[in-house]
Copies of this chain bind each other. A is one copy, B any other.
Amino acid sequence: MAEVDVSTVSRVLRGQSEQRIRAETRDRILEVAKKLNYRANYTARALRMSRTFTLGIVVPQLDNPVFSAAIRGAENHAAKNGYSLLISHRDPGDAGTTIAKLSQMNRVDGLLVASLDADEVLRSDLAEANVPYVLLNRLLPGTALSVVLDSQEAARRATEYLISLGHRRIGHLGGRPGGFNAQERLAGYKMALDAANIPFDPRLVTMGDYTFDAGRVSVRELAKTDATAIMAATLVSAAGAMAELRLAGWQLPQEMSVIALHDALFAEMLFPALSTVMMPTEEMGRVAADLLIRKLSGEDPDPVRALPPGRLIIRDSTVAPRSGARISK
C-alpha cells in the first residue's frame, strides 16, 4: 500500500539502520502501518532469525507463592525485553519431558528451571536441553547459570531474632537432607547459635519436605523437646507446624514461637500472623530472566547471582519465651 518493497517496510519497522531510508519514505510507511494496524508476523520473524523470543519456565508447583512470585518477576522482565513466557507446569512424575519437549522443538530460546529434584535427576533432565538455561535457587556443580537466594543468611537472621527474644532452645524445621537449600539453612541456623554461644543440639533439627503435611509431622518431634521456638524453612511448613501444635492444645505464640523464611500475603492470614524473613522471590524471577536474556544476546554474564534476603517482618507468632519452664503436655 505504501508502494515500497517489503524489505523496506521491514527495515523501517525494525527501527534499526534507518540511515538508508529517506525520511519521507519512512513516514509514509509508518503511517500506512498504523492505519492498517500492521505488526510483523511473529512466526515468520522467528523462523528467519531462528530465535523465538520466547522463554520457557518450568516449575514443579503453580500454587506455591514462591513460584508464582518468580513467574511474575520473570514474566514482567521478559515482556519488557520483548520476550514471552511459556509456562510449563511439570509434574514431578514426568520429569524432564517438558524440558526436552520445549527445547527440542525449538519453541523457546532458553529455559528458566525451578526444580526440587535431586541433583542427578535434574542434571540428566537438563542434558537433553539444547538451549541455554538458568536454574532458580539451585546450584549445580558445573557452569550452569543460577540465581540463588541467600538461604543461609536468611536462616541466620531468623534464628538470631529468636535468640534476641530470649530463646535458647530453638527447633529447626528443615528441608530434605540432600537438598541444597536445606544445608544452607542449617548452616545459617548453626551460625546464629554459635554466635550466641548456644550449643547445637541435633535433636532440635527435623527434616522433611516443604509441604503442609510435612510440617505437621515434623513438628511432633519438636513438641517432645524443650524447644520454645521454631525456625521453619518455608511458610507452608510453618503453617503445618502451627496447625498441628494448636490441635495438640498448645497456646501460640506463648508456648511456641514460630518464624519462617519467605514471605507472602498469606503469612498475614495465619493465626497468629507469622513472622518471617522476606525472600526476594519475585526478584529472583526477574534476575533469572535477565541473566538468560543477556546470555541469549551473546553476553557472558557471571554464572551465579546471589540475592540477599529481605527484611525481617515481625508479626504475632514470635514472642519472648515464658520465664518459667513450660509445663510438659
Contacts and interface: CB of A to CB of B under 8 A. Distances in A.
Interface centre among A62, A105, A273 (most CB of B within 10 A): A62
Nearest to A88: B75
A87 B107 contact: no
A198 interface: no
A311 interface: no
A296 interface: no
Copies per assembly: 2
A200 interface: no
A211 to B, nearest CB: 9
Contacts of A240: 269
A208 B41 CA distance: 43
A270 B69 CA distance: 21
A184 B277 CA distance: 40
Interface in A12-60: 37, 39-44, 46-47, 50, 52, 54
A295 interface: no
Q: Is the interface of A mostly helix, strand, loop or mixed?
A: helix
Contacts of A63: 65, 68-69, 72, 264-265
Given A105-B39, A106-B41, A269 B268 contact: no
Interface in A279-301: none
B62 A87 contact: no
A223 to B, nearest CB: 17
Nearest to A65: B63
Nearest to A87: B87
Interface string A241-273: 011001000000000000000001110111101
A212 B87 contact: no
Closest 9 A/B residue pairs (Cβ): A271-B271, A239-B269, A42-B105, A87-B87, A62-B68, A43-B47, A43-B46, A63-B68, A39-B104
Interface of A: 37, 39-44, 46-47, 50, 52, 54, 62-63, 65, 68-69, 71-72, 75-76, 79, 84-89, 98, 102, 104-107, 212, 236, 239-240, 242-243, 246, 264-266, 268-271, 273
17 contacts: A43-B50, A44-B47, A47-B47, A62-B75, A63-B68, A68-B68, A71-B89, A75-B89, A79-B98, A85-B86, A85-B88, A212-B265, A243-B271, A243-B273, A246-B271, A270-B270, A270-B271
Given A42-B52, A84-B102, 7 more contacts: A43-B106, A44-B47, A62-B72, A72-B89, A75-B87, A85-B87, A270-B271
